Chain A
Amino acid sequence: MDRGNIIKQQLKKSGGAVCVNGGEAFYAVVTHLWRRKSSSFESIATELGLVNPKYYLYIGPYDVDINEFDENAVLTFDGDTFEFKVKDRVAAGGSVLYYTGILRKTGEAE
């Protein structure tokens, strides 16, 4: 089994089911990206109300190329919705191992 597949199997064990734009579900790790600045924990007062932007780390399988999703792509995980802020491919030895990225939460489950 190649390394990309091994990582995919691990993601199945350690990750959760996600889907993009309502498509077929796959397994990925989505974890909160805690930042060191304490201000990241505070809401920002805007003219429209208080906003608390939250960022997450995404690690997904080699066979779901997140670079193919456009900027309006919506990832759903556990009822919450996210948008991709950064997308990257991790490869070694000429083959893709996994995809990683930074997500921003755009909506919370009711």
Chain B
Amino acid sequence: MTTENLIDGIVSLLGNALEGVEVIRAYPERQIQPRLVQKTVAVGFDGTELSSSSLDSSERSGEYRVFADIFVPASFGSGETAEIFNRICDAYSAFNILSLSAERISFDSVLSAYVLKTSATFGGEYEIGGADDE
């Protein structure tokens, strides 16, 4: 597994699990309206701690972290962020998940939205790099 297909996989997983929520890769090249209208989750790579399985192998095993930041338009209320986080936890439960974390709910005045920043740590085999060419 590589960074690219890891994030694609999480976006796809959460997209299927979160009905009524737009799930995207974080920091897309697009202009958006100055006020958020749809509940959105932005997914991105948060970091990793890996070690070699063997000296002659390019594969690594260890932990990798993915963030899934939840944005809810102000009109829905802040409680909706926790509801979406619960559904994300349910979606992750099928995987080898090592830890989950969430920060305090904050308000983004640029987007007029409540924000809950969350992160999940998974364990497993991993290959550092971009798209998988195999």
Knowing A53-B110, A72-B75 touch, does A47 contact B69 (C-beta < 8 A)?
A: yes
**In the complex, A43 Cα to B30 Cα: how many Å?**
11
Interfacial chain A residues near B75, Cβ < 8 Å: 72
Asked if A78 lies at the interface with its beta carbon under 8 angstroms from chain B, I say no
**In the complex, A49 Cα to B111 Cα: how many Å?**
10
Number of interface residues of B (CB under 8 A): 22
Q: Which residue of A lies closest to B44 (CB)?
A: A47
B71 touches A53 (CB 8 A): no
Which of B4-12, B34-42, B48-56, B125-133 lies at the binding interface? B34-42
A49 touches B34 (CB 8 A): no
Knowing A53-B110, A72-B75 touch, does A47 contact B32 (C-beta < 8 A)?
A: no
Interfacial chain B residues near A106, Cβ < 8 Å: 33-35, 112
**Distance (Å) between the CB of B76 and the closest chain A CB?**
12
Interfacial chain A residues near B44, Cβ < 8 Å: 47
**In the complex, A53 Cα to B33 Cα: how many Å?**
9
**Distance (Å) between the CB of B48 and the closest chain A CB?**
20
| Chain B 40-86 residues near chain A, CB threshold 8 A | 40, 42, 44, 69, 71, 75
**Distance (Å) between the CB of B38 and the closest chain A CB?**
10
**Distance (Å) between the CB of B89 and the closest chain A CB?**
20
**In the complex, A49 Cα to B27 Cα: how many Å?**
6
Knowing A53-B110, A72-B75 touch, does A48 contact B34 (C-beta < 8 A)?
A: no
Q: Which residue of A lies closest to B28 (CB)?
A: A49
B33 touches A107 (CB 8 A): yes
Knowing A44-B110, A46-B110, A72-B75 touch, does A51 contact B30 (C-beta < 8 A)?
A: no
A50 partner, pick from B26, B30, B36, beta carbons under 8 A: B30
Knowing A44-B110, A45-B27, A72-B75 touch, does A50 contact B32 (C-beta < 8 A)?
A: yes
Which residues of B come within 8 Å of A, CB atoms?
24, 26-36, 40, 42, 44, 69, 71, 75, 108, 110-112
Using A47-B27, A50-B29 as known contacts, list a sample of 13 further A-B pairs with CB atoms less than 8 Å apart, ordered by residue number in A.
Answer: A43-B31, A46-B108, A46-B111, A47-B44, A48-B24, A49-B30, A51-B33, A51-B111, A52-B31, A104-B34, A104-B35, A106-B34, A106-B35
3 interchain residue pairs of minimum CB distance: A49-B32, A47-B42, A106-B35
